[in-house]
Amino acid sequence: MSNAWTWALQHRPEFYRALGQHLLMCGISLTLALALALPLAILIVHRRWLATGVVGGVNALRTIPSLAILAIMMPLLGIGLWPSIVALTVLAMPPILLNAYVGLRDVDPDVVDAAIGMGMSEGQVLRKIRLSLAAPAMFAGARTASVQVLAGATLAPFIGGGGLGDFIATGISMMDTSRMLVGAVPIALLALGAEWILGVAQRRLFSSESGA
Q: How remote is the C-alpha of 166 from its chain's centroid?
A: 20
Mean pLDDT (whole number) for 2-20: 77
Per-residue pLDDT, 129: 84
Per-residue pLDDT, 5: 65
pLDDT confidence tier of residue 211, bands split at 50, 70 and 90: very low
pLDDT confidence tier of residue 212, bands split at 50, 70 and 90: very low
Domain ranges of the chain: 2-207
pLDDT confidence tier of residue 187, bands split at 50, 70 and 90: very high
pLDDT confidence tier of residue 141, bands split at 50, 70 and 90: very high
pLDDT confidence tier of residue 2, bands split at 50, 70 and 90: low
Cα distances from 24 to residues 29, 55, 64, 131, in angstroms, run 8, 29, 24, 28
Residue 84 contacts residue 156 (beta carbons within 8 Å): yes
Task: Name the CATH superfamily housing domain 2-207.
Answer: MetI-like (1.10.3720.10)
Grouping H, G, I as helix, E, B as strand and the rest as coil, residue 119 is: coil
pLDDT confidence tier of residue 210, bands split at 50, 70 and 90: very low
Rounded (10°) angle between helices 131-152 and 177-210: 170
Per-residue pLDDT, 8: 66
Residue 163 contacts residue 156 (beta carbons within 8 Å): yes
Residue 150 and residue 80: Cα distance in Å, rounded? 17
